[in-house]
Structure 1
Amino acid sequence: MTWDYPLFLALNFDGGPAMDRAMLALSGTAMWLPLYALIVWLVSRRYGWRGAAIFLAVMLAALVLSDAVAGIFKHNGLLGDLMPGLEPRWRPMFTPELEGLAIAPDSLYALRQAGAPGPWRVHVPVEAVAGYYGTVSAHAATVVALAVLSCAALRRRWFTCLMVAATLAVCYSRIYLAKHFPMDLLLGAALGGALGWAAWRLFRRLTRGSGKV
């Protein structure tokens, strides 16, 4: 894409070891556990513990489905044989064109895994070297699904701002770690948004008559 590569290169840079660790943490799971707990607690205050239990089940289903569908797209293309031009796309860290190299992505994959010295145009922390394909982003899909579902359920301005910040932080970490191009994230966000809204509609149906739906 004419805009995807330049935008990625403009956003990806070497911020040093401290920033590498911060971005790896943002892309991980452990640091977000308090946020999940906060969401369930806020939902329990609004809808009661029965509503919170239903929300938790719906949330987990939305997250699992977002991750699973994104994984299917990653390894089979966006529409499989229906649109062969949308085949699985290598992650930025394994895209030779970004480095000006005339080698196969598999060869660049081997160089990255071996920690071969640069100079490299794309910054890739060695701990981030994993996977092959990046379209669509499962991280973007899951975080947006969570944001849409929880913001629709809670409807608090400060919480919406918090979830927007969390979503942007997670998505940027994927660019910093050279895991995804911007388009991968946009497609993942679209997928997550659709599934998050569907989850909200299901939650609202299941909790009708309780709380402030």
Structure 2
Amino acid sequence: MLDWLLNLDRELLLLLNGQQNYFWDYLMRLISEKEMWYVFYIVLASCIVNIFGWKKGGIILLSLIFVVVVSDQIASGIFKPIFKRFRPSRDPEFSHLVNLVQGYTGGKYGFVSSHAANAFGLAVLVSLIVKDRLTTYFLVFWAVIISYSRIYLGVHYPGDIIGGALIGIVMAYLGYFLLKRYFQTSLIKKPVEETYPIARIYQISLIGTLQFVMMAFSVYFCFNR
């Protein structure tokens, strides 16, 4: 059974990693870089503070940091050293079949993906707190595209992504539980009850979408100068 799952994971990796061109190479490389999302994180933090105020917003931001940091440590500090599963880009028996981008190979071990754990942890916790459909759709899309970029770059198997996503989701629900139980932070009202704070939340989706578009156009113009 385990061998069947591992073979399926490799086949899926080759399917999702095999369709490449210069445009997507550069775009996925940008999406995969954590530094590219600093503006998005700043907008997200400012929206939360604007909606909840400094005290409650600060508690929520601390809970987000807690979920991301713990998810990252579980993925990188516990799972990877224990399972010691080579990344596809590092597997001596498999790496020659993987399409790599700009020679990027990542670290030695890949199970589970810390990118997926961090992205899904943040996306799910914010979605649970905000309770806004548009923001939830965007954040899930954001987490999925970041996770897919790791497969595209050949540094993670789909199984690494699924495992990381599950860790992030579990930690998000734990963070949400602790937030409600110990801090009793009131959640914002739904759009039909209070529209102005929701309008601020839409900034998350808007700024994030614009950042995607800007990255895509920067790559496009790079190849069409």
TM-score (norm 2): 0.75
* CA distance in structure 1 between the partners assigned to 2:17 and 2:118 by the alignment: 22
More deviation, 145-154/11-20: 11-20
Query: Per-residue deviation at 1:184?
Result: 0.6
Answering whether residue 68 of structure 2 is matched by residue 68 of structure 1, we say: no
CA contact (8 A) 1:40 1:56 kept: yes
Residues 73 and 135, structure 1, Cα contact 8 Å, conserved in 2: no
Q: Is the 8 A contact 1:13 1:123 kept in 2?
A: yes
Q: 1:30: how far off? A: 2.4
| Structure 1 unaligned blocks of 5 or more | 78-86, 100-119
Determine if contact 2:9/2:157 at 8 Å carries over to the other structure.
Answer: yes
Match of 2:115 among 119, 134, 139: 139
Shift, 1:202, TM fit: 1.9
Q: Which letter does structure 2 place at the counterpart of 1:46?
A: I
Give 1:151's match in structure 2, choosing from 115, 127, 132.
127
Match of 2:142 among 166, 170, 176: 166
Letter in 2 for 1:13: G
Which runs of no fewer than 5 residues in structure 2 stay unpaired?
1-5, 190-225
| Bigger mean CA deviation after superposition, 18-27 or 174-183 | 18-27
Q: How far has the Cα of 1:203 moved from its partner? A: 2.1
Q: Which of 2, 10, 13 is residue 5 of structure 1 equivalent to?
A: 10
AA aligned opposite 1:140: A
After superposition, the Cα gap between the structure-2 partners of 1:128 and 1:211, relative to the gap in structure 1 and judged at 3 Å, is same
Asked if the contact 1:74–1:89 (Cα under 8 Å) also holds between the matched residues in 2, the reply is no
Superposed CA RMSD: 1.9
Matched residues, percent identical?
30
- Pairwise CA distance, 1:211: 4.8
Q: Are the aligned partners of 1:70 and 1:137 in contact in 2 as well (CA < 8 Å)?
A: yes
Residue-pair matches, total? 184
Task: Measure how far apart 1:130 and its partner are.
Answer: 2.8
User: Residue 130 of structure 2 contacts residue 187 of structure 2 at CA under 8 Å; is this kept in 1?
Assistant: no
In structure 2, C-alpha distance between the alignment counterparts of 1:54 and 1:209, rounded to whole Å: 8
Q: Secondary structure at 2:118's aligned position in 1?
A: helix
2:101 aligned partner: 125
Q: List structure 1 segments (4+ residues) > 6 angstroms apart after TM superposition.
A: none
| Partners of 2:179 and 2:42 in 1: CA distance | 18
Distance in structure 2 (CA, Å) of the matches to 1:209 and 1:128? 43
> Taking structure 1 as reference, are residues 163 and 26 closer, same or farther at Cα in structure 2, changes over 3 Å only?
same
Contact 2:88 2:156 survives alignment (8 Å): yes
Equivalent position to 1:24, from 22, 26, 29: 29
The CA distance in 2 between the partners of 1:207 and 1:30, in whole Å, is 31
Q: Distance in 1 between matches of 2:46 and 2:181?
A: 20
CA contact (8 A) 2:129 2:187 kept: no
* Contact 2:80 2:112 (8 Å CA) reproduced: no
**Scaled by the length of structure 1, what TM-score is found?**
0.79
Could you tell me whether the CA contact under 8 Å between 2:89 and 2:155 is conserved in 1?
yes
* 1:175 equivalent in alignment to 2:145: no
Question: 2 CA distance for matches of 1:73 and 1:174?
Answer: 20
Higher helix share: 2
Matched, 1:53 2:29: no
Counterpart Cα distance in 1 of 2:29 and 2:19:
13
